């Protein structure tokens, strides 16, 4: 291995005034001079700790374990904060700010003296934003996830985030009191960590492990388990070695790695948000990936992990059953086992000794938890650039269905009318919501799994087809068509659906069509005016101007690709 001059020496290795300035202020933290002499890789710890992001609120503590590993391996850890996106608090939706956070990460890494970086990720958008930003710089990088919270317990039963939708329905029907509702809040969130089911946070943690950006078991070790700190410590040791090996993100994030991530996501029954984020990451690192790849590579993979919302259990249980390596082992014959990972080993080597300890949690290809999983990508005159549906979360009897459209023009219209006794709707209808796409809301919120009308819930209806250009929470479920592209706000065909139109969904044929003639569609398009939202300045204005559509990953057009790690202009 040839010893390469460390990138950080462009700062700390300078002589004269510049070197003085780069080092002197750092020394006010009590760092001795030898740390700057060029034989200790500077490892940035990109920390999304925030008390406003409760899923990441334990990250200061976790960072200490990570630092211990970095020191032990002869590195020099320096922690820095970046924008943290707390899914449960940020209005109108954390997705609106994913790209902004990624810009913060990208520029923070490039502009500062670091040789490698560990991305501390947890709550949903904190993973893709950090990976996207780091990918556009491309220095050695690893992900350390915060881990899932312990499963909640309420009235003797295990509960997690997916139960919120059920509690909300029971509360709506008067089956759960206000006091019980509040008690359930505390019972569900009883430990540090992100959501307990296979929601978007754990989907993202699984994604980085499948991509090879983390050490094995990153996806499932509970946040409260001491082994999460051991993982942090080992990540610290390994990132220093990665810098010495000059193993960059682009060497790990190959086309093979992306194919693996899609297959593993299917085995996990992961969130549909995965599609948007993986697409955006691929475009940053320059790997070709389109919507059809998600269908193609996931179609042969059944549901292996019995975890909510597609299954019955929680990510904590999956860890005890063998974790992600054991899941990957079951689909080994499909995976690109020669894909290299952050620990320098291949995926095949990493899962070689993996074992399943509980067949209730981890199925096999021959005897899966559910035969169908993954992502169905739909095409048709309602979604020329695609739409997606998660078969494992859908009702089998609705996967081929033609029904009458009940249209809501936007989220406010939906909220105002959904529970009206006058609403002309039955369980055979298709609920359509417009203007919740990237530009239409803006930010593409997780409202696609629209709550069913109260009168149908009271009648015992459990699921209906719902179609929108929005997203769905990773913990959501139902026969929900999402990410319709192009979106209605810019004149996608969804904008022209009218009450009473017939819509045909045929998931086996991968089609979604509005049953009107081409002439009628053209006539409806005439005179369309794009939605004009009242944002004249600031970040949201930039978002509306630059964001691309769902099938392209909802990234900004000018952020695709990488600018590398070189700083073009020097300071001082
Ligand atoms: Fe943070 Fe679910 S709200 S992971």
CA-based radius of gyration for the chain: 24
65 and 212 fall within a common domain: yes
Q: State whether the beta carbon of 94 lies less than 6 angstroms from ligand 1.
A: no
- For the segment 64-89, the average pLDDT, to the nearest whole number, is 97
Q: What is the pLDDT of residue 572?
A: 66
Please state whether the peptide bond connecting residue 217 to the residue before it is cis, i.e. omega within 30 degrees of 0.
no
Q: What is the pLDDT of residue 195?
A: 96
Phi, psi for residue 247 in degrees, rounded to 5: -90, 100
Q: What is the pLDDT of residue 159?
A: 93
339 and 460 fall within a common domain: no
- For the segment 212-226, the average pLDDT, to the nearest whole number, is 98
User: Per residue in 534-543, is it b (16+ CB within 10 Å) or e — as a string?
Assistant: eeeeeebeeb
Q: What is the pLDDT of residue 172?
A: 80
pTM score over 0.85: yes
Query: Quick check: 443 and 418 in contact, CB under 8 A?
Result: no
Residue 59, in any domain of the structure:
yes
Q: What is the pLDDT of residue 143?
A: 98
383 and 509 fall within a common domain: yes
The residue whose C-alpha atom lies closest to atom 1 belonging to ligand 1 is 123
Q: State whether the beta carbon of 123 lies less than 6 angstroms from ligand 1.
A: yes
200-211 and 126-135 helices cross at what angle (nearest 10)?
Answer: 30
347 and 419 fall within a common domain: no
pLDDT at 336 over 70: yes
How many Cβ atoms from other residues are within 10 Å of residue 528's Cβ?
A: 13
Q: State whether the beta carbon of 57 lies less than 6 angstroms from ligand 1.
A: no
Q: CATH number for the domain including 110? A: 3.40.50.2300
Q: State whether the beta carbon of 195 lies less than 6 angstroms from ligand 1.
A: yes
pLDDT at 451 over 50: yes
Q: What is the pLDDT of residue 534?
A: 84
pLDDT at 259 over 80: yes
**CA 84 to centroid of ligand 1, rounded, Å:** 12
Contacts within 8 Å (CB) and 24+ apart, 456-462 = 456/425, 456/426, 456/427, 457/169, 457/172, 457/173, 458/173, 459/427, 461/427, 462/395
73 and 125 fall within a common domain: yes
Residue 159, in any domain of the structure:
no
Which stretch of 83-92, 456-465, 470-479 has the lowest confidence by average pLDDT?
470-479
- For the segment 166-173, the average pLDDT, to the nearest whole number, is 84
Residue 91, in any domain of the structure:
yes
Q: What is the pLDDT of residue 485?
A: 98
CA dihedral sign of residues 252, 258, 263, 264: positive
pLDDT at 260 over 60: yes
Task: State which of 351, 368, 403 marks the end of a domain.
Answer: 351
321 and 438 fall within a common domain: no
| Look-up of token digits 């005016």 | 529
Q: CATH number for the domain including 449? A: 3.50.30.80
- For the segment 218-246, the average pLDDT, to the nearest whole number, is 98
344 and 455 fall within a common domain: no
Query: Quick check: 249 and 281 in contact, CB under 8 A?
Result: no
The per-residue pLDDT of the chain, averaged, comes to 96
Query: For residues 134 and 431, what is the distance between their CA atoms, to the nearest angstrom?
Result: 39
Tens digit of each residue's pLDDT (9 = 90 or more) over 370-414: 998 889 999 999 999 999 999 988 999 999 999 999 999 999 999
250 and 301 fall within a common domain: yes
**CA 108 to centroid of ligand 1, rounded, Å:** 25
Q: State whether the beta carbon of 262 lies less than 6 angstroms from ligand 1.
A: no
Nearest CA among 496, 503, 511 for reference residue 387: 511
Q: State whether the beta carbon of 230 lies less than 6 angstroms from ligand 1.
A: no
Q: State whether the beta carbon of 55 lies less than 6 angstroms from ligand 1.
A: yes
Residue 181, in any domain of the structure:
no
Residue 180, in any domain of the structure:
no
Nearest-atom index, ligand 1, CA of 87: 3
319 and 197 fall within a common domain: yes
**CA 124 to centroid of ligand 1, rounded, Å:** 6
**CA 190 to centroid of ligand 1, rounded, Å:** 14
141 and 290 fall within a common domain: yes
Q: State whether the beta carbon of 201 lies less than 6 angstroms from ligand 1.
A: yes
Of all helices (H) and strands (E), which one includes residue 71? Answer: helix 59-72
pLDDT at 306 over 80: yes
389 and 328 fall within a common domain: no
**CA 201 to centroid of ligand 1, rounded, Å:** 6
**CA 374 to centroid of ligand 1, rounded, Å:** 21
Q: What is the pLDDT of residue 404?
A: 98
Query: 342 in helix, strand or coil?
Result: coil
Strand 76-81 to 42-47 pairing: parallel
Query: For residues 270 and 374, what is the distance between their CA atoms, to the nearest angstrom?
Result: 8
- For the segment 252-259, the average pLDDT, to the nearest whole number, is 98
Tens digit of each residue's pLDDT (9 = 90 or more) over 87-103: 999 999 999 999 999 99
- For the segment 535-559, the average pLDDT, to the nearest whole number, is 96
Tens digit of each residue's pLDDT (9 = 90 or more) over 491-537: 999 999 999 999 999 999 999 999 999 999 999 999 898 888 888 89
Query: For residues 152 and 333, what is the distance between their CA atoms, to the nearest angstrom?
Result: 35
Residue 2, in any domain of the structure:
no
Mutate to test the pocket of ligand 1, among 51, 56, 87, 474 (most ligand atoms within 8 A of CB): 87
399 and 485 fall within a common domain: yes
Domain count, the chain: 2
Q: What is the pLDDT of residue 1?
A: 46
Parent domain of 123: 40-150+191-351
Residue 559, in any domain of the structure:
no
- For the segment 316-343, the average pLDDT, to the nearest whole number, is 98
Residue 478, in any domain of the structure:
yes
């Amino acid at each position: 291995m040839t010893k390469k001059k460390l990138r950080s020496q462009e700062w700390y290795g300078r002589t004269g005034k510049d070197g003085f300035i780069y080092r002197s202020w750092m020394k006010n933290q009590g760092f001795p001079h030898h740390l700057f002499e060029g034989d200790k890789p500077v490892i940035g710890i990109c920390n999304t700790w925030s008390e406003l992001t409760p899923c990441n609120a334990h990250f200061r503590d976790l960072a200490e374990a990570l630092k211990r590993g970095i020191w032990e391996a002869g590195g020099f850890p320096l922690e820095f904060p970046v924008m943290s996106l707390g899914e449960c608090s940020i209005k109108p939706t954390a997705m609106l700010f994913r790209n902004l956070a990624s810009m913060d990460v990208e520029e923070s890494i490039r502009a500062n003296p670091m040789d490698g970086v560990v991305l501390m990720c947890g709550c949903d958008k904190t993973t893709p934003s950090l990976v996207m930003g780091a990918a556009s710089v491309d220095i050695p990088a690893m992900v350390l996830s915060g881990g899932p919270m312990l499963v909640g317990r309420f009235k003797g039963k295990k509960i997690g985030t997916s139960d919120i939708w059920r509690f909300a329905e029971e509360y709506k029907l008067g089956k759960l009191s206000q006091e019980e509702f509040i008690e359930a809040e505390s019972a569900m969130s009883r430990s540090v960590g992100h959501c307990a089911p296979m929601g978007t946070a754990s989907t993202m943690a699984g994604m980085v492990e499948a991509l090879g950006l983390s050490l094995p078991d990153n996806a499932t070790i509970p946040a409260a388990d001491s082994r999460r700190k051991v993982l942090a410590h080992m990540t610290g040791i390994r990132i220093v070695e990665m810098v010495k090996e000059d193993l960059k993100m682009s060497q790990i994030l190959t086309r093979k790695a992306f194919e693996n991530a899609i297959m593993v996501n299917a085995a996990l029954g992961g969130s549909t948000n995965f599609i948007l984020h993986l697409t955006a990451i691929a475009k940053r690192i320059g790997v070709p990936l389109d919507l059809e790849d998600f269908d193609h590579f996931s179609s042969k993979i059944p549901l292996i992990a019995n975890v909510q919302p597609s299954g019955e259990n929680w990510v904590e249980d999956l860890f005890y059953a063998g974790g992600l390596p054991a899941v990957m082992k079951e689909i080994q014959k499909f995976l690109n086992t020669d894909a290299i990972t952050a620990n320098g080993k291949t995926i095949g080597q990493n899962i070689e000794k993996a074992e399943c300890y509980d067949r209730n949690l981890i199925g096999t290809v021959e005897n899966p938890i559910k035969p169908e999983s993954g992502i169905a990508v739909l095409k048709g005159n309602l979604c020329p650039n695609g739409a997606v549906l998660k078969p494992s979360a859908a009702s089998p009897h609705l996967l081929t269905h033609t029904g009458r459209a009940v249209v809501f023009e936007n989220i406010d219209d939906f909220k105002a009318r959904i529970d009206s006794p006058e609403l002309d709707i039955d369980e055979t209808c298709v609920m359509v919501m417009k203007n919740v796409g990237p530009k239409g809301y803006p930010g593409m919120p997780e409202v696609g799994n629209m709550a069913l009308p109260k009168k149908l819930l009271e009648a015992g209806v459990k699921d209906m087809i719902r179609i929108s250009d929005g997203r769905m929470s990773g913990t959501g479920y139902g026969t929900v068509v999402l990410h319709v592209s192009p979106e209605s706000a810019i004149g996608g065909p969804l904008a022209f659906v009218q009450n009473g139109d017939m819509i045909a969904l045929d998931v086996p044929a991968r089609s979604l069509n509005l049953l009107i003639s081409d002439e009628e569609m053209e006539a409806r398009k005439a005179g369309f005016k794009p939605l004009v939202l009242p944002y004249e300045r600031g970040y949201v204005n930039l978002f509306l101007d630059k964001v691309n559509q769902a099938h392209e990953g909802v990234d900004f057009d000018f952020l695709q690709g990488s600018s590398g790690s070189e700083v073009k202009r020097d300071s001082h």
